[in-house]
Amino acid sequence: MQTQLGLSERGQRVAESRIAGLMQRALEQPGLISLAAGFVDQVSLPVEATRSAALAALDEPEAARAALQYGPTAGNAVLREQLVEYVTRQDAAARSAAPAAAELAVRPALRSDQLVVTAGSNQILQLTAEALFDPGDIVLCDSPTYFVFTSLVQGLGARSVGIATDEHGMRVDALEQELERAAQTGELPRVKAIYVQSYFDNPRGVSLALERRAALIALAERYSRAQRIYVIEDAAYRQLRYRGPDLPSLASCDATGESVIYAGTFSKSFSPGLRLGFGIFPSALARVVLALKGNYDFGSPHLNQCLLSSALARGLYEPHVELLRAAYARKAEAMLRALDREVAPLGFAHYARPNGGLYVWLELPPELPTGPDSRLFARACELGVLYVPGEYCFPQSSQAVGRARSSMRLSFGVQSEERIALGISQLGRAIREQVAAR
């Protein structure tokens, strides 16, 4: 069959998205409460802000025509300057709020030629992976991590290797151990990158602790022998912070500016419909990524970029983010209250209270598998609730997988507080039934 299709090796390698299967299920069962999708809150999408940003962007005919024309491959020049200013300001504020940050190295001043605007930060991950990974190459990731990233790594024939994490993010000792192991076995030249989500990660809601940030860069540099090992910093959930101070990004601690690639997005903090993200690259890599992007689309939709630029210039973005923080903090609380009521009394479940992001990671004991073929998953669906099986979130090979097969990712992004409570109550029922049946 593959011979008939004449697929490339890459075409043969790409597996059908497992998430597409979950989405299909949600569509086929109307009324199903999906705690699976990482979609954002529908009610708080910025309709008014986008309307006034659009009117302003299209008000003057010459500017409107420019917005409706193709833009530069790297992105609209004004927007790129705004983003450089935005990230620089955000990191400066995070540093002044964190006394321990005084010890950290400071990256050279950011320039807009290091910044590429893309169709969502997923495109940054894709372009970076294509620029760096050959079949057989290795990328070290949190375990668990963002499944779209590991799937794209696999699609390129490269391998994701999981590094143990705890409540402060990737464990630096475990990372060092893996790098040393690779050095001993001769695999180090294949290790091209370390992928970390530095803020409220998907799927656990955990941030990388401040003191680990510089240590992680130092390790990447120390083991950059035959070739550089980059740190890919995915900051998708940075803006969705409910409690505690912002932390300086890893990119801002990269003294040479040569090690860290920073991926940001406006999908979670403004609108995924605009689908705009941006990457900050070491200069030499920025040129390669731009050449790749030139082959794909020679620039992300220009009108969307002009809309976002207009929203930033009119001060419409940050007040919106403030609103979102309050809305998601309430939804997170609704989910945690329901878990405290429905699941905690069972005495064996573990979940942490996230300070930001969209997810709660629930771990059950190993005798309660959560996978797509498990009885728990089937029963939860029958009772009208869908989750992401934890095993989807683990890299191809992992240290310390622990409860991989008995964990789940629960998203409080898209459902209302009432439906979150109802969904968790049905999930609690499904779990209790499985326990009783044992």
Ligand X SMILES: Cc1ncc(COP(=O)(O)O)c(C=O)c1O
Binding site for ligand X (CB under 6 A): 38, 120-122, 146, 197, 202, 234, 236, 265, 267, 272, 275, 277
- Rounded CA-CA distance 127/282 in Å is 14
HSE toward the beta carbon, residue 37, CA cutoff 13 A: 18
Structure tokens at 431: 């779990």
Amino acid at 320: H
What distance in Å separates the CA atoms of residue 341 and residue 339, rounded to the nearest whole number? 5
| CB closer to ligand X, 128 vs 197 | 197
Taking the least distance from each CB to ligand X, the nearer of 38 and 428 is 38
Beta carbon nearer to ligand X, 234 or 342 = 234
Q: How far is the CB of 301 from ligand X (least distance, A)?
A: 13
Least distance to ligand X from the beta carbon of 279, Å?
11
CB 365 within 8 A of CB 382: no
Largest CA distance in the chain: 70
Block residue for tokens 């930060």 = 121
Which CB sits closer to ligand X, 137 or 233? 233
Taking the complex as a whole, the smallest distance from the CB of residue 429 to ligand X amounts, in Å, to: 29
Closest to 232 (Cα-Cα) out of 188, 311, 185, 170? 170
Output the smallest distance, CB 40 to ligand X, in A.
9
CB of 292 to ligand X, least distance (A): 16
Q: Up-side HSE of residue 150: CA atoms within 13 Å toward CB?
A: 25
- Distance separating alpha carbons of residues 421 and 183, to the nearest angstrom: 49
User: Distance between CA atoms of 317 and 209, rounded to whole angstroms?
Assistant: 27
| Closer by beta carbon to ligand X, 202 or else 239 | 202
Q: Minimal distance in Å, beta carbon 267 to ligand X?
A: 3
Q: In this complex, which beta carbon is closest to ligand X, that of residue 309 or of residue 426?
A: 309
**Minimum Å distance from CB 100 to ligand X?**
25
Q: Which residue's beta carbon is nearest to the bound ligand X?
A: 120
Question: Inter-axis angle of helices 47-59 and 61-68, to 10 degrees?
Answer: 110
Which residue, 82 or 202, is less far from ligand X as judged by CB? Answer: 202
How far, CA to CA in Å, does 185 sit from each of 136, 154, 178, 189? 15, 22, 10, 10
